[in-house]
Structure 1
Amino acid sequence: MSLQDSDNNNSNNEHFNEVLKKSLASPSRRMILRGGFGLAAIGSLPMLAACGGSSAAPAIAATGIQILGTSSISLGFGATAKSLADQVTVPSGYSVQVVHATGDAINTATPAYSNTGAETDDWTFRVGDHHDGMALFYVTAAGMYSATATDRAVLAVNHESSADSHFLHPRGQTSGGVNGKKFNQFGNWDAKTRPGLEVLKEINLHGVSIVELSKDSNGHFSQINPASTLNRRISAQTVVNVTGPSAHLAGIKQLFTTKFDTTGATARGTLNNCANGTTPWGTYLTCEENFAAYTNIRTGGTAPDAKAVETRRRYGVARAPISATATAASGQGWFTPTDTADTNERFRRWDSSADGANAMNDYRNEPNTFGYVVEIDPLVSSSTPAKRAALGRFAHENAAHSNAVAGQALAFYMGCDSRNEYFYKFVSQQNWSAADVGGGMAAGDKYLSEGTLYVAKFNADGSGQWIELNISNTSIAAYNTNGFSFSNQAEVLVFARLAADAVGATKMDRPEWASVNPSNGEIYLTLTNNSASNRTPSTTDGANPRSYNDPDGNMGSGNPNGHIIRLKEVGNLASATSFNWDIFVFGAEQDSGDSVNISKLTANNDFSSPDGLWFSQSTPGLLWIQTDDGAYTDVTNCMLLAAVPGVVGDGGKITVKNSLTVNAVTTTGTQETFIGALLPDARLRRFLVGPKGSEITGLTETLDGKALYVNIQHPGEKTGAVNAANNDWIADPTKLQSQWPTNGGGLISAYGPGTRPRSATIVITRNDGGKVGL
């Protein structure tokens, strides 16, 4: 899900290992542990017993953890086998159908998709590419939001990236770069230009597709209703409102000021829409993740001042030499077209050079306008989306809200998807009232404009703190690095990564999706993976305790398989400023050995690189886990698993033995951590395996749980041939890694024309009409 997972964090904040070593040196550690879980009545749980909190022995002496027992939820399907086939594989007794795929028309006037790149429209009325997070909304007969099931439903789907949009153009993305290299998102643009139609397609395929669904003969919402007036696209050109805390909104708008809107009250579009969220009042949250590669400083363009340069460095913006005058422009080259009218400077805006007299005369602030949670009302086609700056600016993966409790504040949990980045939460100033259900954007103004932004600091004793990001914090007020210091709270929100650096937040390994268990309010977070350059035995820590090589030596080292961590707020309050944590499950190959396969995964449930994470709303306590993997793809394509988790603290303390070999040099070490109870096959089981080259991402379901929607992103990602004469990509069917879904892989019949692969949303149902997964 992440295209930009490089480490832009050079702060001196402690890793978990530094915190852990300090804690282990303290003779009072056991008392801290006992106190750290104090508000939760778990003094007799195995975790505390294993940590010396009582004389009881751990349930499994070899590991210090127990096997999780029975549950009221039972997984009712046979495990799906690992697969390298170019198809979607699901358990026996289930059916799969494509709802829509990249390029499908969303109205009756747009021609059907050719799947050859021959389209001459600019993608304004087509389904976007790289399907990601999504949500289903029920609609009343009057067109209003309904919290209960109705006969009408709207599906909102995110579209993440256009960095590999070869399939959308006749011969792939136009060549660029230097030294004869094929153009890619990290290449450089000199005097080369791109065709305007190519660029417009790529700009408009980002964002969100909102479509009303029709029911099929089986009564499932499974196809676009092209005649619906609710169908629309939110793209990187859609005008959006800029919002934030009233006391700091003027400062936020100043940072949004561009030639397009000299007041900063609006911005253009939403970009690189990764995962998502919903709100208790019935709106959609789309999250802007890796936006940094799209705005550039053109060759010869003037760099901004030192303060802005440091913020760009910290966010990875521009990927070009940032000096007094740029010598090369990196990124997608969206600013280069000369063959198409630059209406409203729709191309020029992507050049973030500081060439004007001030920010009102150029687009130096354009990078500041991306990296937010964007709220959309999917049921009011005339409504204007809003960038919710109060929730901070970073590489947002998703935004998962706490369980809504009347009279209590709401929290939204958010990961920043990049190496060594942080985990955040926003707590609303207003307490929740069920009277706001159906309140649309006005309710969003109430709950998402005023509140407090926090970042997580994890302690070695299994506790943690939420640190408020506020200019009144002396560490933030005194922060000064490479010419950057904070002038006001608006800058704290817009440059939240730097504020988190200042307060000493805990660096994490690519924190991606968060999800909240509706049955108990606990928060789960995927830590997808890490490389040997960043995770060695000497730099492991309590939250990232493994450092090892891929067992067959083929697919990476460091922490290639990732894991999932979970948190419990003290007092089970969304507004709590402290929490407890443990590791829910470690990804691993089944034959990795005990030091790597710590969670004792089997052939029925081993996995790698957890990414998407979503708790069922129809079956509270049922967790779906999706993978975006490059470490296990020599054995199996990416997958979807179902899990029945326990609770924070149901496991124990363990010591991990690490061994990593790089360039024939082996280093070893040990690391203590906390792990939840083991999950046997009965509580963690593989449900789906995707086609070749795909990532499995994004889930939603009908309220009765009888239809599960899943996104298949970028099948055939590693595809193509290069013509040596012009460096153009060639759509050679013999070189396609995948032809899904045009090959009908895992479906009743092939979907759509041509041979090129397409991202798609699928719906999965049980043949007997029962709940999916049970």
Structure 2
Amino acid sequence: MTDDSQNILFGNGDELPSNHSANPHIQDVINQGRRKVVASGAAFGALAFLGGLPSIAGAAEPAKIGSGQPFQLRNRLPFAAVPVTRADTITVPAGFSAKTFIPWGTPICGSYPAFLEDASNSAEDQAQQTGMHHDGMHFFPMDARFKGRKSDHGLLVLNHEYIDAPLLHPSGPTVVNGKRVDADEVRKEINAHGVSVVEVRRGPQGDWSVLPSARNRRITGATPMHIEGPARGHELMQTRYSPSGTSTRGTLNNCSNGYTPWGTYLTCEENWAGYFAADDAELPRHLERYGLRSSGRYGWETVRGDEFERFDATATAADARADYRNEPNTFGWIVEIDPFDPDSTPVKHTALGRFGHEGLVFAPTKPGWPLVCYSGDDSQNEYIYKYISRDKYRPQRSDGRLLDDGTLYVARFNPDGSGDWLALDIEDAAFQQACAAANVSFADQGEVLINTRLAADVVGATKMDRPEWGAVHPDTGEVYFTLTNNSSRQEADAANPRAPNPTGHIIRWREEGKNQVGTRFQWDLYLLAGPQSDSRDPRGRPLTDENIMASPDGLWFDEEGRLWIQTDMSGSQLRSGPFGNNQMLVSDPKSGETKRFLVGPKGAEVTGITATPDFRTLFVNIQHPGEGSTPTEYTSTWPDGPGRRPRSATVIITRDDGKRIL
């Protein structure tokens, strides 16, 4: 990213690195580890768990087919890999179909205003239509809180991460002398963010449709929210809007997601810091450590009116309750939404920490045991976190309060393949010692969590290469995380084995504690993305034409333990080289086999995935096709065709024979 990133309307909103601590980087850990091999000039960890856990290559056991029959392996990836392509379309294997569904601007609630092809819809219209740039999502069967097996009727809930302002308006945004002057344009941009809740039904012929339902709903960057957990009411959460520090407005930059065992949706605020401006001579640590700058990404703070002035975090009054110096502290959280109650108020859970949450993934729940979940901080050189609830999970009785009282940990990856979860708890003796050694103090646990990144710096967490989506194996409980890339890395370590690391990799670990509640783990590398000359598949072999990829991002396990991998390449990786457009692959941890299942259109990221319980319908999101387009020149015209502006959309994938996807 260049200095132009300081300007209004800059790019896709990835934040500038803000971790200047001396903590070790994961690449340093890998370099120090005893499991290095050197291949094509790249240091790469051996693909085997330590501590007696099986290697990938030896993990597959032959399956017995029929009584008295010889042992043979079942083909768990029964499709022909699709080739690399730069076509402006969706490519899936023979025998499968992909149909576009609910693109940006689809009317879903209120007066159901139709999408206008010239993008001249108003801000009020946008608040009743699907937002821009679809991302993480989940399908909730209509019986989700009972058996959860209904596959032809449910709620599809999806995030809208950010906007392309040049495409959101007919002629792009109106900017005069570096300032935004059209309040309705800015209001429309705020409304294009957030979350959509859409009731959908599959008809007798297999076609899906949106139902006109009272459950349909838009949560936007202006929707009122409650604040819960240790930071609720904290003096650093007090604003002109909420002098008590117990509420805020809106959720922004909603990237990946999660869903709770009690049937609610979790949306995750990722690159939120760039929405705010702060022009103080010296920024307080809760703003500086998160990379706030003197101007906001879209210039919203330059418009008059309280609804816009909240994006200016400059201290302008004698008291925080009279300005918005603390408004950024009300972002960077996990937000819980009840999709079945359109009148419910979303809740920001502060016990889960404040950072650039990519998503939230739960370990398998066990009645009578604490709840365990994981989240990555998607920025260069940031960390991976784990949360353990204080109270026990009780089916049919537990709710979001489990996310308000517990312990947040951050990961340290050791060179010998072990790992430690380091508590970010002001009552923890080791945390107190680390703070004393670093000469850093926190007034209370609320301040620890508002300054999560600083607290993680203090305890010595391992810097990672943009930790993004996580996924937990449904049978083994192994945790997988994508480390998408990090071109700014100067030195390698055990868990981040390349410096720089422009193509990324996938790391995984197994917890030592029963039911994931311990503070020790064993880790290894599952896959090293990149060209054939610098990559490794789960069997330790170079990637091939069937699975070559870069910048792994989205991760999801289906019920049979196949790992679905989505990529987020940009720039030169998309324009040239061996990778083609962004893609989605399927990998089998039992055998290590990995195949490309889908390739997206030009300029798009493939992101977000969910399925119906019968696994006959797969939903996948296609984000920002034609990224970099202007109001007059489109680099993609997907999905509507020639001459039409590109629109993010969900894609519905089915088998032509109507059977399970795999």
Q: How does the TM-score come out when normalised to structure 1? A: 0.76
Q: Mind listing any 5+ residue stretches in structure 2 that lack a counterpart?
A: 1-10, 36-45, 63-72
* Matched residue, 1:372: 333
Matched, 1:4 2:6: no
8 Å CA contact retained: 2:563, 2:588: yes
* Matched residue, 2:617: 707
How far did residue 151 of structure 1 move?
4.7
Task: Kindly provide the amino acid, as one letter, of the partner of residue 313 in structure 1.
Answer: E
1:156-203: CA deviation from partner (whole Å, max 9, x where unpaired): 0001012x22111011122367xxxxxxxxxxx4xx333111101111
1:381-420: CA deviation from partner (whole Å, max 9, x where unpaired): 1111100000000000000000011222111110000111
Going from structure 1 to structure 2, the CA distance change for 1:584 and 1:595 (only over 3 Å counts) comes to: closer
Indicate the percent of aligned positions where both proteins have the same amino acid.
43
Q: How does 1:688-727 map to 2 (within 5 A)?
A: 688-720=598-630
User: What's the secondary structure of 1:435's corresponding residue?
Assistant: coil
8 Å CA contact retained: 1:546, 1:596: no
8 Å CA contact retained: 1:637, 1:694: yes
8 Å CA contact retained: 1:272, 1:288: yes
8 Å CA contact retained: 1:585, 1:599: no
8 Å CA contact retained: 1:400, 1:412: yes
Q: How does 1:144-293 map to 2 (within 5 A)?
A: 147-149=148-150, 151-162=152-163, 164-175=164-175, 189=178, 192-220=179-207, 222-225=208-211, 227-245=212-230, 249-251=232-234, 254-293=235-274
* Matched residue, 2:24: 14
Aligned counterpart for 1:494 among listed residues 427, 444, 450:
450
How far did residue 769 of structure 1 move?
1.0
Task: Kindly provide the amino acid, as one letter, of the partner of residue 543 in structure 1.
Answer: A
8 Å CA contact retained: 1:591, 1:597: no
Going from structure 1 to structure 2, the CA distance change for 1:593 and 1:605 (only over 3 Å counts) comes to: closer
* Matched residue, 2:496: 544
- Which sits farther off after the overlay, 128-137 or 117-126? 117-126
User: What's the secondary structure of 1:474's corresponding residue?
Assistant: helix
Matched, 1:590 2:504: no
Matched, 1:614 2:556: yes
8 Å CA contact retained: 1:100, 1:127: yes
Aligned counterpart for 1:770 among listed residues 649, 659, 662:
659
How far did residue 379 of structure 1 move?
0.5
Task: Kindly provide the amino acid, as one letter, of the partner of residue 160 in structure 1.
Answer: E
In structure 2, how many angstroms separate the alpha carbons of the residues matched to 1:597 and 1:116? 50
In structure 1, how many angstroms separate the alpha carbons of the residues matched to 2:513 and 2:104? 45
* Matched residue, 1:401: 362
1:702-753: CA deviation from partner (whole Å, max 9, x where unpaired): 0011100000000000222xxxxxxxxxx22xx3110000129xxxxxxxxx
* Matched residue, 2:302: 336
8 Å CA contact retained: 1:604, 1:686: yes
Going from structure 1 to structure 2, the CA distance change for 1:684 and 1:277 (only over 3 Å counts) comes to: same
How far did residue 642 of structure 1 move?
0.7
8 Å CA contact retained: 2:134, 2:649: yes
In structure 1, how many angstroms separate the alpha carbons of the residues matched to 2:33 and 2:100? 52
How far did residue 348 of structure 1 move?
1.3
In structure 2, how many angstroms separate the alpha carbons of the residues matched to 1:591 and 1:24? 23
Task: Kindly provide the amino acid, as one letter, of the partner of residue 383 in structure 1.
Answer: S
How far did residue 113 of structure 1 move?
0.4
* Matched residue, 2:5: none
8 Å CA contact retained: 1:569, 1:576: yes
Matched, 1:478 2:418: no
How far did residue 249 of structure 1 move?
4.0
User: What's the secondary structure of 1:88's corresponding residue?
Assistant: coil
* Matched residue, 1:116: 118
8 Å CA contact retained: 2:504, 2:552: yes
Q: How does 1:358-437 map to 2 (within 5 A)?
A: 358-436=319-397
Aligned counterpart for 2:289 among listed residues 314, 339, 355:
314
Matched, 1:561 2:503: yes
1:682-711: CA deviation from partner (whole Å, max 9, x where unpaired): x21000000000000000000011100000
In structure 2, how many angstroms separate the alpha carbons of the residues matched to 1:20 and 1:526? 16
Which entry has the higher C-alpha Rg, 1 or 2?
1
8 Å CA contact retained: 2:81, 2:546: yes
- Quote the RMSD (CA, aligned, Å): 2.6
8 Å CA contact retained: 1:471, 1:477: no
8 Å CA contact retained: 1:145, 1:379: no
* Matched residue, 1:133: 136
In structure 2, how many angstroms separate the alpha carbons of the residues matched to 1:176 and 1:475? 52
In structure 2, how many angstroms separate the alpha carbons of the residues matched to 1:313 and 1:589? 37
User: What's the secondary structure of 2:310's corresponding residue?
Assistant: helix
In structure 1, how many angstroms separate the alpha carbons of the residues matched to 2:330 and 2:22? 28
1:565-593: CA deviation from partner (whole Å, max 9, x where unpaired): 00100045221100000000111223558
Task: Kindly provide the amino acid, as one letter, of the partner of residue 394 in structure 1.
Answer: F
8 Å CA contact retained: 1:589, 1:632: no
How far did residue 475 of structure 1 move?
4.0
User: What's the secondary structure of 2:548's corresponding residue?
Assistant: coil
How far did residue 767 of structure 1 move?
0.8
* Matched residue, 1:686: 596
Going from structure 1 to structure 2, the CA distance change for 1:361 and 1:146 (only over 3 Å counts) comes to: farther
Q: Mind listing any 5+ residue stretches in structure 1 that lack a counterpart?
A: 26-32, 48-64, 178-188, 321-328, 548-557, 647-677, 721-730, 745-753
Going from structure 1 to structure 2, the CA distance change for 1:598 and 1:313 (only over 3 Å counts) comes to: farther
* Matched residue, 2:407: 452
Matched, 1:529 2:516: no
1:223-246: CA deviation from partner (whole Å, max 9, x where unpaired): 221x2000011111111110004x
1:307-344: CA deviation from partner (whole Å, max 9, x where unpaired): x5222121012x22xxxxxxxx3431112235xxx3xx
* Matched residue, 1:553: none
